[in-house]
Amino acid sequence: RPGVASALAGSGSRTALSLFSLPDRVALVTGGNRGIGLEMALALAEAGAIVYCLDLPTAPDEEWLKVKAFVDELPAIEHQKKKAKFEYISGDVTDQKAMWGIVEKIVEKEGRIDVCMANAGILHGAECLEYDGADFRNVLDVNVSGVLFTAQAAGRQMERLGIQGSIILTASMSGTIVNPGQHWIAYNTSKSAVVQMARSLACELAPKGIRVNSISPGYIFTNMTRSFLDTQPGLEEKLSAQNPMGRFGRPDELRGVTLWLASDASTFCTGADIKVDGGQCAW
Ligand code: NDP
């Protein structure tokens, strides 16, 4: 039975902290122009990765440009041959062939792809008995098909190159629980599909050394949350009171779990759904 000494031998001279670093690793983050995706992308870059942020607009937002300027000034981390880099790509996750092509191009340029954060998602609310078919299909197209196409695009290249990569899908606590009063039939359905998609991908890709996990955030302050908080005065307080920690989360509170799942700190973790929700699903 391996003891501490053999564990040390197994991880070479690496300290626990160094397991979280991503020198020369290449990452893709969809929905990386803002919100949760931008924070995830920044975390990966701070750990040394070359990060490609993909989003719908043809040009990134002002905030993204500020983060890029910050990353460009970061000093190289230990054992890093190529400095961390922050790039923007315009793309639509619902276009399967385009997504495959985009990741092929990243690999042509950087030589590899190690981390894929399939994070882009949309929220649309309407009462379940009235939910419009086109709106329903649109939510499932972005939140489910788009997540699969992103994971496929990266997974195909990881397999081809024999890279022991990490694919991380952004699900939601809405994949596990339903908050009464919210008309999120499509969103809730899509997010529970993402949790199960991560498990399915994890089982198929484990023999190839590719790990797949999902992250399920609770309410996090972003444009998405603002879009429904603005519809009802006092809603933030009401929803905060339903959370054991009594508050919403901040996007930067997802940076730790991102690094853990993306890096060698989690090499035996696959098919897991990690909840980052202030205990809301445990309530
Ligand atoms: P935001 O709306 O701030 O960001 C989502 C990003 O995804 C936007 O930049 C959006 O672009 C982009 N996007 C939407 N559709 C597409 C598409 N077809 N192709 C490429 N990019 C697209 O939301 P969050 O940062 O809050 O959400 C990120 C993820 O986290 C989502 O999957 C969401 O469901 C999930 N989540 C969020 C929670 C929260 O409380 N905020 C809680 C739990 C999960 P554009 O704006 O230009 O349309």
Closest of 246, 256, 125, 134 to residue 189, by C-alpha: 125
Q: In angstroms, what is the span from residue 76 Cα to ligand 1's centroid?
A: 30
In the 8-state DSSP scheme, what is residue 274?
E
Helix runs in the chain, H state only: 4-10, 35-46, 62-72, 96-110, 133-140, 146-161, 185-205, 223-229, 235-241, 255-262
Q: Kindly state if the Cβ of 244 falls inside 6 Å of ligand 1.
A: no
- Tokens 């307080």 belong to 237
Model confidence at 50: pLDDT above 90? yes
Q: In angstroms, what is the span from residue 80 Cα to ligand 1's centroid?
A: 31
CB 248 within 8 A of CB 280: no
Q: Kindly state if the Cβ of 254 falls inside 6 Å of ligand 1.
A: no
Rg for the chain (alpha carbons), in Å? Answer: 19
**Other Cβ atoms within 10 Å of 279 Cβ, number:** 12
Q: Kindly state if the Cβ of 225 falls inside 6 Å of ligand 1.
A: yes
Q: In angstroms, what is the span from residue 121 Cα to ligand 1's centroid?
A: 4
Q: Supply the DSSP string of 89-157, one letter for each residue.
A: EE--TT-HHHHHHHHHHHHHHHS---EEEE-------B-TTT--HHHHHHHHIIIIIHHHHHHHHHHHH
CA–CA separation, 65 vs 63, rounded Å?
5
Q: In angstroms, what is the span from residue 18 Cα to ligand 1's centroid?
A: 30
pTM, to two decimals? 0.96
Residue of 122, 147, 187, 276 with the most ligand 1 atoms within 8 Å of its CB, for mutation = 122
Model confidence at 178: pLDDT above 90? yes
Nearest atom of ligand 1 to the alpha carbon of 92: 19
Q: Kindly state if the Cβ of 120 falls inside 6 Å of ligand 1.
A: yes
User: Class assignment of domain 15-282?
Assistant: alpha beta
Q: Kindly state if the Cβ of 38 falls inside 6 Å of ligand 1.
A: no
Half-sphere exposure of residue 135: CA atoms within 13 angstroms, side-chain side: 14
ipTM of the complex: 0.99
Nearest atom of ligand 1 to the alpha carbon of 121: 32
How confident is residue 12, by pLDDT bands cut at 50, 70 and 90? low
For the chain, which residues make up each domain, given as ranges? Answer: 15-282
Tens digit of pLDDT for each residue in 124-176?
999 999 999 999 999 999 999 999 999 999 999 999 999 999 999 999 999 99
Model confidence at 5: pLDDT above 90? no
- List the single range of 23-37, 50-64, 222-236, 253-267 with lowest mean pLDDT: 222-236
Q: Kindly state if the Cβ of 168 falls inside 6 Å of ligand 1.
A: no
CA–CA separation, 103 vs 83, rounded Å?
20
What is the per-residue pLDDT for 14?
83
The stretch 245-252 carries a mean pLDDT of 98
Q: In angstroms, what is the span from residue 120 Cα to ligand 1's centroid?
A: 5
Model confidence at 206: pLDDT above 60? yes
Model confidence at 1: pLDDT above 60? no
Q: Kindly state if the Cβ of 155 falls inside 6 Å of ligand 1.
A: no
CA–CA separation, 274 vs 261, rounded Å?
9
